[in-house]
Each structure stands twice: as C-alpha cells, then as structure tokens.
Structure 1
Amino acid sequence: MSVDPRNFRRAMGLFATGVTVITVRVGDTVHGMTANAVTSVSLDPLLILFCVDNRARMAQIIKEAGRFAINVLSERQQALSSHFSGRPVEGLEVDFLETEGVPTLADNLATFVCTLDRIYDGGDHRVIFGRVDALTRATDALSPLLYYAGTYRQLEQQQRERLEALDRIGYAIASSLDVSEIFETFAAQAAQLVPHEAISVTLLSEDGRSLERFALAAATSIAPRAGERQLLDESVAGLVVREGQTIWTNDMASDERFRGENDQRWIAEGFRHFISTPLRARERVIGSLNILKRGDASYDEADVMVAEQIANQIAIFLDNMYQHERIRRQTIAREHPLIQLLTDTLHALDDAERDIHDQELLSVSLQRARSLAQRALSTVESGAS
C-alpha cells in the first residue's frame, strides 16, 4: 500500500510541536533557520537533534561552524519564526545575544547551546545531532509558540471556537430543512473559521456527468448563479468530485488544473486562494464545497481540515433533505399517480434540454418524455371514463 506524501505531511501536521530557531555564526555572519522537527535524544550524554531539508544550506553552515544554538520560541516571538523561515518581516530588528560564544535570540522560552556531534542522512533531510554544552530557561511565565496543522496556534481558544461554530451548524441541521436558512448558517459559521470571499456548494447530477451549483454566497458580481450547470471536466470542483479528494492551492493562476471557463472567471476577478473538498453521503461523493478568497493571506492545512468538517455537515444535511424529499414523492406517487407521471415527464424534458448537443442522448430523453406523457394521458382518460 503506497502512502501519498501530501497525506503523510498533513497527518504529521496533526502532531502539535513547539517552534525553534537554529542560530549559528560563520565568520562575521549570523545565520538563522526556523525548525519544528526538534527532539531530545539522550540524557547521558546530553544530545538533541533537529532535521534540515537537503535543499537548505544550514547543514553545511553548521558543519563549518561546529557549534550552534536551538532557541525555543514563546508565542510573543511568532514574527521571528516567520522571519527565519524564508518570509522576512519588514522592519523587524533581531537582537542577538552571545551565549557560550554562540549567537542566540533574546527572550526565549529556553536556549540550548550545542557542539555538533554528528550528521546523518534521512531521506530528503539531514538529521543533525548536537551535544548540549549549556542551556537557559525563561524566568517569566511565558506561553509557548505552537505549530499545528500547518499554522501557528493558541490551541485551546481556537478549538473552542471551532466546536462552537460546528455546534451551531449541527443545531441548524437538526432544526430545519429550509435550504436558504441552512446555507446562511453554513456560510456565516464558515466565515468565522475559514476566511473567504466566496463559498459555494455544487452537486453531482443524476447522470453523473455534470455539476449543478446548489447554493452560493459571494461578494462579487461574476459569481455563477445557483442552478448553473457545468460538465465535470470544466472545473477543478469536477475533478474533486471525480477523484473524491480535496484540492487546495494558494496560486490559482499558475496551477495547471485551473483551466476551465468557470475557474478562469474567478482568476480574472483576482481570486488566488482556493479549497474544494468532496461532499460524501453514505460512502458516495455527491458534490463539493468550494471556498475562495483574494489577498495575500494563504490557506493552510488547518483551513483545509475545517473545510472538510464543514463539508461533512453539509453532506449530512443534504442527505437528510434528499431522504425527506424521497419519502414525500413516494407518498404523492401512491396518492396522486398523475402528479407523479407529470413530474417525471418534466424531469425527462429537463434531461432533454441538457442533452440538446448530443443527438443520441437527446433522442433517448425525448422518447422517455413522450412515453411518460402518453401514460399520463391514459391515466386522465381512465379517470374520465
């Protein structure tokens, strides 16, 4: 059984960690790198390790320097984490201290000054072991900077907000089958958990060949209308439904998958960030939840997981609605067979309209509509005689 590296990365992201910055001096230059793959190894001798991507220069720099420091960050130092992870923070002044001859950061939760012990190959990373020469701990009661599911976290507060929002969605599902009311609740709660400027639900057609936009909330005039249809291969949402896998990106314009007409309309309007996750009901994909926004703030793994939770709630609501409608139609069919025949005829005509560009399918749909109309006529004639 093969494991998708992306799924592996997302699964490992569920293991919450602290955040550190590795600091080292070579000559007159101080280098820094953010790292969260850090762990203690041994008490005798005192050993600690961290991992470095093979594409980074840090392993070679540490090899040259021979000594380095691991700075454990507090929640007040998030800007430093971003700064040393390749996203320089404009205007940030970094104050370095000198600890046992090694550059360190100020106001850390803890600092470990190390001598390089050994370096191992670890696939696409290097594993660097350090022998701990000295350490310091904060005297103030500082909270740690945490990293979870691809983003910085204050876990207790965010988890509480997420649960409260999902509770409100669950209550709405249990108390109403009104589509407009339910979707307004979904959109409002999703806005608290996953920032967006547009959110839509698309549903798979009965023949499995197209998607119909079921509901949409968007702050843009180019948003497709509810009821609009598109073939599965005309949008990334269709790809999500076909493959049953979430797709997300923070650069729609350069992503080769976004080539459909509908996708291009969003890109032309300036949208960059996108999450689409499948809706599953009774082990079957019935549609997708699609979330978009402009701006520079990226989506991350945490946003994707929240979107998937919301999608699960939407799928439950839709399945409940379908079951309710199925029972209602069965009751009508038993009590009013003519109404059912006319309803089926209208559905057949809808199919014919959709298949108008395919002569073979159009012929089949029209034959079915004609047959249903004849049965309806016979029912009327039987009742009149």
Structure 2
Amino acid sequence: MQATVRQATAPESDAPAAPFDERRFRSALGRFATGVVVISTGSGESLHAMTANAFMSGSLRPPLIVVSVGHRARMHERLMTDELFGVSVLSEAQEPHSRHFAGEAQSCFASSLAPRFAAVDGLPGVVLLEHAAARFAARIVDRHPCGDHTLFVGQVLVFSLDEHAPLIFFGGRYASVACAMT
C-alpha cells in the first residue's frame, strides 16, 4: 500500500507554494471515525441544540470535556455567553436526531420518535436527550480560539450512561458498531 503525503505548508524555498486543497483536507479528516453528539444549551423556549462530532474528553481530574464549535454556528454565540451546556452522545437509533439537529427536517418526527429532552436536576438551563448512549452536563470553564472555531472546555457536573451502541460518523456517512456492550 502506497500513500501520498502532502505538506500542509510549503517548505521554505523560492518555489511557488501549491494551493492548499481544503476539500481534500476535509476528506482526510473524515477518515477519523468519530461519535456523534448533540450539544444543547438553554431549556424550554430558549433551548438551542446542534449536531457535532468535534467532542472529546479533556481530563479525568478534574472531569473536563471539550467541544469545538464553528464561529458561524448559532451555537457559538450561545456558548460565548451561556455558562452551562449539555452533550448527548447519540445512540445508533438516534441517527434521525443527528440529522434533525444538523438542519435536515425529519418526517418521522411526526410520531412519538421526536427528540425528547430531559431536565437535569439542580441545573436550570441544561437539558439532555433521552435514550442517548451517554449524557454530560457541564459548566464552561474556558474558551480557546482555534482558527475558525472555538474550543469550549466544560467541567462535568453530572453525567450518565446507558447500554446503547453509539452512532458513528466516518467518511461523511453514519455507521454503527457491532459489539457487546459491557
């Protein structure tokens, strides 16, 4: 197997630099399989939620999580001013939820399959999706500019997990993991 390696920046020389291929770069990043989350803030009429796959653990002590949100997303403005947010790690059965919170209308939500959020006791303004594989409620403790995104660091105040297989995103497509949950 032979791989083509492309430099992100041109070496220092007099030769003209090749233009950076953003589409190919995005495809390369898509080769990293990720989970899918819904980030939420607010509740009731002020609830706002969005699908993301830029989520990671930050630290075990203290318990920190990190989400990356683009500057143009409405969620970015909310997280710049809000103190609390939630992250729901979607289960494989929640692919329609992912599509819905990414802006695609879902006709199946006319039934009882619509996303349902549950309030977090003692944390007004944080709601989490029911039936998610894992759920985290966090307080924003830091914000870091990162190119056209901001990394929001949250200290986990409450979390829960269920025995649902996670929804996976790879190469621009949804997938699932066939494994025994322990």
Do both share a fold (TM > 0.5)?
yes
Q: Displacement, 1:112? A: 0.7
Alpha-carbon separation, structure 1, partners of 2:83 and 2:104: 26
Cα distance between partner residues in 2 of 1:110 and 1:154: 15
**Higher alpha-carbon deviation: 85-94 or 100-109:** 85-94
Q: Please, which of 89, 92, 97 is the counterpart of residue 118 of structure 2? A: 97
Match of 1:134 among 136, 158, 164: 158
- What are the equivalent positions in structure 2 for 1:37-116 lying under 5 Å apart? 37-92=54-109, 93-100=114-121, 101=123, 102-116=126-140
Letter of the aligned partner of 2:95 in structure 1?
Q
**1:149 aligned to which of 171, 178, 182:** 171
Any idea what the Cα deviations from partners look like across 1:113-161, whole Å, max 9, x if unmatched?
00011111111111111111010010x3x211000001101367xxxxx
Q: Secondary structure at the match of 1:76?
A: helix
The answer as to 2:18 corresponding to 1:16 is: no
Q: How does 1:285-300 map to 2 (within 5 A)?
A: none
Instruction: Measure the CA separation in 2 of the matches of 1:155 and 1:98.
Output: 29
Are 2:167 and 2:177, in contact at CA under 8 Å, matched by a contact in 1? no
Q: Which consecutive residues of structure 2, in runs of 5 or more, have no partner in the other structure? A: 1-9, 11-17
C-alpha distance in 2 between matches for 1:134 and 1:44: 14
Superposed counterparts of 1:344-355, under 5 Å: none
Highest CA radius of gyration, 1 or 2?
1
Give the structure 2 partner of residue 124 of structure 1.
148
| Greater relative CO (CA pairs within 8 A, separation 6+) | 2
Q: Which residue of 1 aligns with 2:7?
A: none
After the TM superposition, list the runs of 4 or more consecutive aligned residues in structure 1 that deviate by more than 6 angstroms: none
What amino acid sits opposite 1:152 in the alignment?
Y
Q: Deviations over 1:156-190 (max 9, x none)?
A: 7xxxxxxxxxxxxxxxxxxxxxxxxxxxxxxxxxx
Q: Aligned partners of 2:35, 2:41: CA distance in 1, in Å?
A: 20
| CA–CA separation in structure 2 for the residues paired with 1:34 and 1:148 | 15
- Structure showing the higher helix proportion among its residues: 1
| Percent of paired sites with the same residue | 36
Corresponding letter in the other structure for 1:154: S
In structure 1, list runs of 5 or more residues that go unmatched: 157-385
Equivalent residue letter for 2:94: Q
Secondary structure, counterpart of 1:88 in structure 2: coil
Q: Deviations over 1:172-221 (max 9, x none)?
A: xxxxxxxxxxxxxxxxxxxxxxxxxxxxxxxxxxxxxxxxxxxxxxxxxx
Aligned partner of 2:53 in structure 1 is 36
User: For each residue in 1:86-135, what CA deviation from the matched residue of structure 2 results, as whole angstroms up to 9, or x when unmatched?
Assistant: 11213512211011321111001100100011111111111111111010
- Structure 2 distance, partners of 1:25, 1:90, is 25
What TM-score do you get using the length of structure 2 for normalisation? 0.79
In 2 relative to 1, CA 77–40 (structure 1 residues): closer, same or farther, beyond 3 Å?
same
TM-score (norm: length of structure 1)? 0.38
3-state SS of 2:42 partner: strand
Matched position secondary structure for 1:78: helix
Query: Shift of residue 47 of structure 1?
Result: 1.0
Q: CA deviation at 1:42?
A: 1.2
Q: State whether residues 139 and 155 of structure 2, in contact with CA within 8 Å, keep that contact through their aligned partners in structure 1.
A: yes
Q: Which amino acid aligns with 2:42?
A: R
Distance in 2 separating the partners of 1:50 and 1:40: 9
Distance between the aligned counterparts of 2:104 and 2:45, measured in 1? Answer: 23
Give me the whole-angstrom Cα distance separating, in 2, the residues matched to 1:15 and 1:22: 20
Report if aligned partners of 2:165, 2:177 keep a CA contact under 8 Å in 1: no
SS of equivalent residue, structure 2 residue 107: coil
Q: Which one has the bigger strand percentage?
A: 2
